[in-house]
Amino acid sequence: MAAAPSRTDQRIILHFDYDCFYASVFEVEQPILKSLPLAVQQKQIVVTCNYEARRRGLHKLQLIKEAKQVCPDVVIILGEDLTKFRDASKDLYLFLRRFVWGERVEKLGFDEIFIDVTDVITYNAALLNPNDLTHSFFHLDRQDPTVGFDFDATVIYGPTYPDGADNTARLGSEAEVGPSDLHLRLLLASHLAGYLRGQLEDKKGYTATAGISTSKLLAKLAGTVHKPNSQTTLLPPYATRNDGEESNVLNFLDSCQIRAIPGIGSKLSSKIRSYIAASGYAKGEDEPTVRDIRLWPGMGPSLLDRILGGPGAPRDIGVRVWELLHGVDNTQVAEARDVPTQISIENSYRSLDNFEASRKEMLALAASLIRRMRTDLTEKYTESEVEASDTVREGVERHQRSRIRWLARPRTLRLSTLPRSIPGSEGARSYSRMSHSASLPQYIFNLDESADSLAERLVRELTTSMFRKLHREQSGWNLRVLNLAVTNMVDVAGKQKSGRDIGKMLQPQELVPKDRFPAPEPGGMRSETDAPQSTLARASEAAWEESDEEDIMPGVHCNTCGALIPHFARVAHQVYHSSCSQE
């Protein structure tokens, strides 16, 4: 067996997992639901349920029909629209981020978050009074010594792994890593995790389960030990000591099934299980554990490379998996972002095999995408900025202005589809995603128009043509997945001192009479928002017969603010920036 990889345990990482998140969102809105069995439905499946429902025999991924039979009085709420969950997730993320020193706060899906708290833990460790640990104070603000909470630094807060271990502080003991004792730093982190969990419940109404360790991998796994509404601190030693004391990390991992290790997953674990099964694994139907794999004869980075390598495999995959099997994970918690790198909306289907049905689905996806853009990419003006925006510059029409502005503007729209194989066909493209991208039209950023009307225009003028480029025939295909995304985010260049949203101030397609500059659809067809449905349907059908030329860029991006400006408005836009700079 190959040597164990070396460890570095300088960081302290917290992992939070909001309990029964989807159900909790509805419980926060209607607290009476907390005492009732509640299930959240997507398609015909229970995607989550609260603990009262679980107590009565319900569980995740249960059929709705079966759930009603098991618990006839279950309250079922449709959760197809993810807007509520997305908004709640963003709110909780911003709430926890307020307590963080530095910028390393990373969301994982809607209901999980990693926080690197190394700096605040190191700071508080240096301030501890060893003569009065019982009456310690945890500082949450370097500048204001009154901001924080009281705690008892003689004992770890909450459960630990191993259970029943010595949880008391070890000031003055030989340091395991770096200048400060790892046990002490984990002790401090346990109190911070408990405090943040309490703040989440008191201020926001959500409970969470936390894991405390030195890496994302170990913090996430530790948080699974005591659920719900609890936490677990993985105690040292993290490496086997010279005196023979075993590593708690290896003891903790050894009982885990290999597919449960974050970073390995089902695909890689399946290859490893297949290899040891063919090599004489003798535990019958039992899933191999991390210990089974780690101690397998000849196991190490080289063998894992042979098992997991091949075309498309990441470089040094064997080294990476060998490290994970030993609980070594040096990946950083990502830096916090005010805006996401992309926004993606998709849906899956049993059968989507004609264009009209696909057009309706694209319309629904587009409306959801625009609403999410408005949630994730905008912020409210301050009162002073609203007052400053009352006067509109000479040469630009005065119009109704929203009290929110864009933080970032995506430049690119991407449509992706995943075809389903057709019985009897020999199509080589089955089960592979297909995508096409185009410049995102500037009118999408019009905050005075409803998301539904903008979605209708986007589908009519752009996504229909994009769809045609992926599926050149109107029939003969069947889609499993449709995805609509915006990418290539450009942060708005600073916050305008006048409080004005330049992209919204200059909406040339609205200021210029439509009869003078008709907006062409792909293929040269004029866009009319009030055209009869039959006309739109004929236009959609005609689009399939047009040429395959790429979409023409609708304009140029401003180097100052990043806004997409039609060619005929470039000069006016430059004059606007010049007048702003002369203030």
The DSSP result for 249-265, as a single string, is: HHHHHHTSBGGGSTTTH
Q: What angle do CA 443, 341, 569 make, to 5 degrees?
A: 30
- Cα separation of 374 and 409, whole Å? 10
Name residues of the chain where pLDDT drops below 70: 1, 165-180, 242-244, 283-285, 381-402, 421-431, 493-583
- Cα separation of 260 and 421, whole Å? 31
The pLDDT tens digits for 381-400 are 655 555 555 544 443 333 34
Give residues with Cβ within 8 angstroms of 500, minimum separation 6.
388, 389, 401
Q: What is the DSSP letter of 459?
A: I
Structure tokens at 444: 């999408």
CATH (residue range 13-254): 3.30.70.270
pTM (predicted TM-score): 0.72
Sequence ranges of the chain with CATH classification 3.30.1490.100: 343-581
Cis before 162? omega within 30: yes
Specify the pLDDT at position 259. Answer: 86
Closest CA to 14 of 87, 139, 119: 119
- Cα separation of 44 and 46, whole Å? 7
What is the residue whose two structure tokens read 């019958």?
Answer: 284
What are the respective helix, strand and coil percentages of the chain, to the nearest 5?
35, 20, 45
Specify the pLDDT at position 381. Answer: 67
Sequence ranges of the chain with CATH classification 3.30.70.270: 13-254
- Cα separation of 552 and 299, whole Å? 56
- Cα separation of 321 and 238, whole Å? 18
Specify the pLDDT at position 512. Answer: 34
Structure tokens at 520: 């062409």
Dihedral over Cα of 301, 305, 308, 313: its sign:
positive
Q: What is the dihedral of CA 368, 369, 373, 376, to 10 degrees?
A: 70
- Cα separation of 44 and 289, whole Å? 34
Specify the pLDDT at position 315. Answer: 85
Specify the pLDDT at position 431. Answer: 57
Closest CA to 289 of 250, 325, 255, 322: 255
β 160-161/231-234 pair status: parallel
Specify the pLDDT at position 353. Answer: 87
Dihedrals φ, ψ of 244, to 5°? 95, -5
- Cα separation of 45 and 64, whole Å? 5
Element (H, E) at 487: strand 479-491
Which architecture does CATH list for 343-581? 2-Layer Sandwich (3.30)
Specify the pLDDT at position 244. Answer: 67
Cis before 513? omega within 30: no
Dihedrals φ, ψ of 76, to 5°? -110, 125
